[in-house]
Amino acid sequence: MTAADTIHPLELSVLAHGVAMIAEEMGAVLVRGALSPNIRERRDASCAVFDAGGRMIAQAAHIPVHLGAMPESVAAVRARRPQPGDVFLLNDPYHGGSHLPDLTLVEAVDMGGVIGGYTAVRAHHADVGGMSPGSMPQGATELVQEGLIVPPIRLVRAGALDEELLAFILANVRTPAERRGDLGAQLAACANGATAWRAFSARLGAARLTAACDALLDYAERRVRARLAPLEGRTGRAEDVLEGDGVTDADIPVRVALAVRNGSLHLDFSGSSPQVAGNVNTPAAVTRAAAVFALRTLLDDDVPTNDGIARAISLVLPARSAVNAAWPAAVAAGNVEMSQRMADTILAAFGDAGVDVAAQGQGTMNNVTFGGAGWTFYETLGGGQGASSKGAAPSGVHVGMSNTLNTPVESLERSTQLRIDRYALRDGSGGAGAHRGGDGVIRAYRATAPCTVTLLTERRRHSPRGVAGGGAGATGRNLLNNTPLPAKCRVVLKAGDVVTIETPGGGGYGPVS
Amino acid sequence: MGVTALSVGIDVGGTYTDLVAVDANGCVTTRKIPSTPSDQSEGVAVALQLLGGEPVSRFVHGTTVATNMLLERAGARVALVATAGFTDVLHLARQDRASLYDLSRHHPPPLVARDHTVGACERVVPEGVHIALTDEAIDSVVERVRTLAPDVVAISLLHSYVDATHEQVLATALRIAMPGLEVVLSSEVFPEIREYERTATTVAEAYLRPGVSRYLERLTVRAHSLGVPAPGVMTSGGGMRTVAQAARGAASLALSGPAGGVVGAAAALRAAGFLSALTVDIGGTSADVGLVLDGEPLVEPGGRVAGVPIALPRVLVETVSAGGGSIGWIDDGGALRVGPRSAGAVPGPAAFGRGGTLPTVTDAHVVLGHITASSFSGGVEMDVRAAHHAINDLARGLDADADRVARAMLDIADASVARALRRVSVERGVSPRECVLVPFGGGGPLHACGLADQLSIQTIFVPPHAGVLSALGLAITPERRERMISLLTHASALDRVALSAALTRASAGVADGVEWRRSWTARMRYVGQGHELDVAVHHGEDGAAIAERFAALHQQRNGFTLESRTEVIGIRHVAAGEAHRVSFSRDGLSAWDPERAVDDGRSFEALLAGPAVVTLAGATLRIAVGWTGQPHSTGGWLLTRDGNLP
């Protein structure tokens, strides 16, 4: 028989299913209860469970940009001395958050009067105030312009919701009813996770619970290290750029030196740009998410997502840099675009180290926001994936740190004053090669009434690169009535104007034979 | 007694072919024989002969022909006519990638190649026709299609759920130009908003129609030669369709395979007086998980086969790769794993003695003595030594004895199935704790206690004929016809007259002149939502009444309601015949023999405290420690947990 406080390898799978089920169930409760399409349909949200020591035991990720980024939220909450049953709300990128629209709730799970663990739910809200609808303002240079900043605060104290605090928060956003509903769904998901975590703990007993958490983290770490072992001693470097910060067009370099040493992945971002005036900076948590994502692309899909993965990663991030920003730097766009570029650069460094990686994908989310009288509409567009040794790449998909769905043309035309003139694959935009890069897409929007459009796009000057001799993907293009628009801009449209977005193609693999 | 006309259901699985015959009095006869994969009809013929020549009045089978055509991409050559500028609709899909982390993985390819798409110069917008279809535009489409010379043409134009005129005009022109050409319209197959799902469903219908027609013709001929009537087939939605009806609804057969089991489970549940249940059908390679609410299988749109979304209504079933053939292995983190790889039917588990050497879930049951008979049902001999050998091989790598490894394998298989059971219920606002668990299939009753333990379920109802429940569902399911129309209007705009007129329009031409049970559902949502709920609606009601019903269902399923207005996007009509009567009972008396522990289907007294194993017809029931089982008057078993859970 097994000693009371040890876990046999025979038990790992059942434990892994058990904790994954808790996170998955939290996700189901969240999506079921949320009001906004961004959470309900696009699933821009993540749920996770932590042990009493603040270690992440399971995460149900729908979207890679939240990967491994929530332990910082729990750490920030633990520093505030939570009491059992408290639920904290936060979005401050410099105290456990990512960018302001991501509201994160952390519940300190009451287990017989002590904290027995934490449940956390992060969801991208459609608006958290600030200078423009959607809270990802073009040209913002200070965090305070981007929306309401919430350091970790007790929204629920010992089980009781602080209605005054909630009223204060809702008074500072543009769509309070929807925010209240979405926060309610997040609270319900946290509570559901807490109940499930208590039941899981009760089944195991206190001594075995700690052992089980240790074993699950060790297990994920072993699986990561098993993949890294053949790469021991490899080193690589890569450099790439973001095309301006929304204030100026100057390129913003991202540099990574990679080494696999003593079974760990070391990533050194020294030499990356100092933090910039515009809002493409990221806090360290988002950089960590990009690192976890890049590493995960090398692993089997079934490696559990827990803190064991992060144990095999060590990061060096220069202080006050664009990849490790400090208050009061603005960060809203960094979450969607800098995150992509960091993932690109890390994967390129793996390539430089001789690892068989795919060519670069479109490397942008192509954020498009329209606003008119009484309506707003936000969407992101897919493009070309990078080709790999395995074959040609998929076309017209989200790559990297996002994976949300498109909006059906028929739905869009019923809820906005826009018509889509064309939605098609962008032929020939994928890089040439033995294996072709994926093609981007073309989407043409015709305004049927005056409105504004805000574009936050990348890869309009610098192409996604090929690998192993493959060609680059085509850069993207933004057009107003066939006249080029900048990569990042806000334009007033009159009825009949057509904005066309052509998204980048992915890089090719290998020389054309 | 006069002629006892039999209603027969035949379910062809990878390992076994199951037959259930129900006579006019509702009495049930079952047969289970090994499948004949090289020619499925051979096994069907053998099964029918076992009935001893009694006349068959109705013969329904679950067909995998449409599913296999999709899996093997072996359907017709289809040309797609779409609005110019939008002909890539299938290739763009919904823009999410196939795998979050495997950057090379592609979605399965669409059923139409890009060079087989044709753009039509026209445009319908939500308010109606915006750019009219000209004669030149029509001619150009006809010429392009003529050049492509496809087997079938699918037409799916933007917003055709609002105005189908352009689709109809193009179809007429194509039929005149190319007599005999099969043309399928999205406004007829699935008139619902969201162009990708509507187009994909329409193309699937076009892709499957010729092959399904040919298959049904062959089957009819074969049925005649066997002296049985033309077969009916099960649809994904859980109703029976005649061959004539099925040929024009080929896409609605794509998910018919697992529907029969949930239909059979629902019938048995109603007989036992249960309303809400989670169902689990465990076979050789997979476990199918379903949900019964208010005594009926949960039917929802949104299924997907081999990467092809088929938005037609289907009995909700989620499939998990965990069955008797699932293989145990050790991963690179040192953990014991089970599945997703399966030994399948051939070579099958080591215990089958067909040359399999890898340790499977079935082998674990044999090692633990859960399967004690000298042979499996269906005549496969059991090789106990081979099972031990396979599990021992695995145990050596894990520093544990064979019994412990076998137990761990079962726990792992249960954990992955329990996760799916929890998912299908919690996602719909149903708490698994408040459900009865209904296990069936050859392996379901073996795993029921383990699953119930993981889900905190208190009651397990093992249905009668658990080993052949899918075939039973086929034998009794009523014939059913369906039609949907698009509406797109605020519920508040529908007074009694308008709503009644919409219901009449939805049922036009459906099973006219037949006294069938007719029902209607409204597909409803709050304005701005992207998902609908199906709400029952009756003649004489107005929009306000169904809006109220929608709000109540929304509260139950999603946990909240909104102040927003509600809209109706369509009406679906279902006309159903009588379900075949079936008697769930134990006839005659027998005595329980604890040594043999065989349920002979007759009535007897027994109260079994776990651990215990009972041999059922075509399945084995395992009662675990902490559970008590007793025979149920329906012919099934009722298991209850000893004492309540914390």
List A418's β-bridge partners, or say none: A447
Tokens 């060096």, located at residue: A316
| CA-wise closest residue to A10 among A209, A212, A201 | A212
Lowest mean pLDDT among A147-151, B371-375, B490-494: B371-375
User: Token pair for residue B441?
Assistant: 């299939």
CA separation for the pair B350, B389 (Å, rounded) = 8
Confidence (pLDDT) at B646: 46
Sign of CA dihedral B315, B320, B322, B325: positive
C-alpha neighbours within 13 Å on the C-beta side of residue B405: 29
- Residue B2 confidence (pLDDT) above 50: no
User: How far does Cα A20 stand from its chain's mean position?
Assistant: 19
pLDDT digits (tens, 9 = 90+) for B157-206: 999 999 999 999 999 999 999 999 999 999 999 999 999 999 999 999 99
Q: Is residue B392 situated within a structural domain?
A: yes
Contact list, A430 vs chain B (CB under 8 Å): none
Other C-beta atoms closer than 10 Å to the C-beta of B624 total 18
User: B62 and B79, same structural domain?
Assistant: no
Give the model's confidence band at B644: pLDDT under 50 very low, under 70 low, under 90 confident, else very high. Answer: low
Confidence (pLDDT) at A67: 83
CA separation for the pair B88, A405 (Å, rounded) = 16
- Averaged over A436-456, what is the pLDDT? 97
The answer to whether the Cβ–Cβ distance between A14 and B107 falls below 8 Å is: no
Confidence (pLDDT) at B316: 94
List A61's β-bridge partners, or say none: A46
CA separation for the pair A258, A335 (Å, rounded) = 22
List A388's β-bridge partners, or say none: A391
Contact list, B104 vs chain A (CB under 8 Å): 358, 388, 390-391, 393
User: B88 and B16, same structural domain?
Assistant: no
Strands across the sheet with B152-156, in order?
Answer: B117-120, B78-83, B152-156, B182-185
Confidence (pLDDT) at B373: 62
Lowest mean pLDDT among A391-405, B40-54, B142-156, B276-290: B40-54
CA separation for the pair B386, B369 (Å, rounded) = 14
Give B409 to chain A, closest Cα distance, Å: 8
Contact list, A405 vs chain B (CB under 8 Å): 94-96
| CA-wise closest residue to A486 among A499, A472, A469 | A499
pLDDT digits (tens, 9 = 90+) for B532-547: 899 999 999 999 999 9
Q: Is the N-terminal amide bond of B179 cis, ω within 30° of 0?
A: no
User: B227 and B111, same structural domain?
Assistant: no
The answer to whether the Cβ–Cβ distance between A226 and B333 falls below 8 Å is: yes
- Residue A433 confidence (pLDDT) above 50: yes
Bridge pairing between strands A483-484 and B480-490: unpaired
Q: Is residue B420 situated within a structural domain?
A: no
What one-character DSSP code corresponds to residue B615?
E
Q: Is residue B95 situated within a structural domain?
A: yes
CA separation for the pair A426, A432 (Å, rounded) = 14
Contact list, A11 vs chain B (CB under 8 Å): 408
User: How far does Cα A282 stand from its chain's mean position?
Assistant: 11
pLDDT digits (tens, 9 = 90+) for B425-462: 988 889 999 999 999 998 999 999 999 999 999 999 99
Tokens 């983290």, located at residue: A217
A220-252: string of b/e by CB count within 10 Å (b at 16+)? Answer: bbbbbbbbbeebeebebbbebbbbbbbbeeeeb
CA separation for the pair A245, B596 (Å, rounded) = 78
User: B78 and B42, same structural domain?
Assistant: no
Higher-scoring residue by pLDDT: A378, A359: A359
In one-letter notation, the amino acid at residue B93 is: A
- Nearest CB among B126, B195, B408 relative to A10 is that of B408
List B78's β-bridge partners, or say none: B152
Confidence (pLDDT) at B1: 35
DSSP one-letter string for A355-411: ---PPP------EEEEEETTEEEEEE--BPPPPBTTBPPPSSB--TT--PPPPPHHH
Contact list, B336 vs chain A (CB under 8 Å): 9-10, 12-13
- Residue B281 confidence (pLDDT) above 60: yes
- Residue B288 confidence (pLDDT) above 80: yes
User: Token pair for residue A448?
Assistant: 């049927």
Q: How many helices (H) and strands (E) are present in chain B, helices listed first?
A: 16, 33
Residue B67, helix vs strand vs coil: helix
Residues 6+ apart with CB under 8 A from B205: B154, B184, B189, B249, B250, B251
End-to-end CA distance of chain B: 55
What is the maximal distance between C-alpha atoms in chain A? 76
DSSP one-letter string for A260-328: EETTEEEEE-TTSPBP-SSS----HHHHHHHHHHHHHTTS-TTS--SHHHHHTEEEE--TTBTTB--TT
Domain boundary among B210, B235, B266: B210
Angle at A282 between CA A280 and CA A287, to 5 degrees: 130
Confidence (pLDDT) at B190: 94
- Nearest CB among A222, A391, A408 relative to B195 is that of A408
Percent share of chain A, pLDDT over 70: 99
CA separation for the pair A369, B485 (Å, rounded) = 34
CB B223 within 8 A of CB B215: no
Q: How many domains does chain B have?
A: 4
User: B195 and B144, same structural domain?
Assistant: yes
DSSP one-letter string for B451-517: HHHHHT--EEEE-TTGGGHHHHHHHHPPBEEEEEEEEEEEGGG--HHHHHHHHHHHHTTSSTT---E
Q: Which domain holds residue B113?
A: 74-210
- Averaged over A284-304, what is the pLDDT? 94
User: B79 and B179, same structural domain?
Assistant: yes
Q: Is residue B172 situated within a structural domain?
A: yes
Lowest mean pLDDT among B4-8, B93-97, B610-614: B4-8
User: B119 and B26, same structural domain?
Assistant: no
List B311's β-bridge partners, or say none: none
Give the model's confidence band at B248: pLDDT under 50 very low, under 70 low, under 90 confident, else very high. Answer: confident
In one-letter notation, the amino acid at residue A28 is: A
Q: Tell whether B559 is within 8 A of chain A (Cβ).
A: yes
Q: Is residue B603 situated within a structural domain?
A: no
Mean pLDDT of chain A: 94
The crossing angle, in degrees rounded to 10, of helices B444-455 and B402-426 is 70
Give B291 to chain A, closest Cα distance, Å: 16
Percent share of chain B, pLDDT over 90: 68
- Residue B39 confidence (pLDDT) above 70: no
Q: Is residue B377 situated within a structural domain?
A: yes
Burial class (CB in 10 A: 0-12, 13-18, 19+), A465: buried
Domain boundary among B536, B557, B576: B576
Q: Is residue B545 situated within a structural domain?
A: yes
The answer to whether the Cβ–Cβ distance between B530 and A411 falls below 8 Å is: yes
Lowest mean pLDDT among A274-288, B109-123, B343-357: B343-357
CB A345 within 8 A of CB A255: yes
| CA-wise closest residue to B518 among B486, B570, B483 | B483
Q: Tell whether B94 is within 8 A of chain A (Cβ).
A: yes
Percent share of chain B, pLDDT over 70: 97
pLDDT digits (tens, 9 = 90+) for A321-346: 999 999 999 999 999 999 999 999 99
User: B239 and B201, same structural domain?
Assistant: no
- Nearest CB among B96, B196, B400 relative to A403 is that of B96
CATH number for B17: 3.30.420.40
- Averaged over B117-126, what is the pLDDT? 98
- Nearest CB among A11, A227, A385 relative to B97 is that of A385
CA separation for the pair B534, A512 (Å, rounded) = 53
Give the model's confidence band at B55: pLDDT under 50 very low, under 70 low, under 90 confident, else very high. Answer: confident
Q: Is residue B158 situated within a structural domain?
A: yes
Residues 6+ apart with CB under 8 A from B219: B41, B230, B231, B243
User: Token pair for residue A513?
Assistant: 């034979």
Confidence (pLDDT) at A200: 93
- Nearest CB among A222, A385, A425 relative to B92 is that of A425
A140-to-A103, A278, B15 alpha-carbon distances in Å = 19, 6, 64
Give B217 to chain A, closest Cα distance, Å: 39
- Averaged over B51-73, what is the pLDDT? 85
CA separation for the pair A508, A276 (Å, rounded) = 32
The answer to whether the Cβ–Cβ distance between A28 and B426 falls below 8 Å is: yes
Contact list, A202 vs chain B (CB under 8 Å): 646
Residue A101, helix vs strand vs coil: coil
pLDDT digits (tens, 9 = 90+) for B375-413: 455 556 788 999 999 999 999 989 899 999 999 999 999
CB interface of B with A, residues 370-399, below 8 Å: 398
Q: Tell whether B401 is within 8 A of chain A (Cβ).
A: no
- Averaged over B93-116, what is the pLDDT? 94
- Residue A360 confidence (pLDDT) above 80: yes
User: How far does Cα B249 stand from its chain's mean position?
Assistant: 16
User: B90 and B183, same structural domain?
Assistant: yes
CATH number for B141: 3.40.50
pLDDT digits (tens, 9 = 90+) for A174-217: 889 889 989 999 999 999 999 999 999 998 998 899 999 999 99
User: Token pair for residue A47?
Assistant: 């749920």
Q: Tell whether B336 is within 8 A of chain A (Cβ).
A: yes
- CB pairs A-B closer than 8 Å: 198
A15-to-A162, A311, A443 alpha-carbon distances in Å = 36, 20, 46
Domain boundary among B386, B411, B436: B411
User: Token pair for residue B539?
Assistant: 């003649």
- Nearest CB among A8, A226, A397 relative to B96 is that of A397
Give A456 to chain B, closest Cα distance, Å: 19
User: B230 and B202, same structural domain?
Assistant: no
A286-to-A48, A97, A327, A342 alpha-carbon distances in Å = 16, 9, 15, 9
User: B81 and B203, same structural domain?
Assistant: yes
Give A15 to chain B, closest Cα distance, Å: 9
Contact list, B98 vs chain A (CB under 8 Å): 394, 397
User: B218 and B182, same structural domain?
Assistant: no
Confidence (pLDDT) at A230: 97
Tokens 């991501």, located at residue: A102
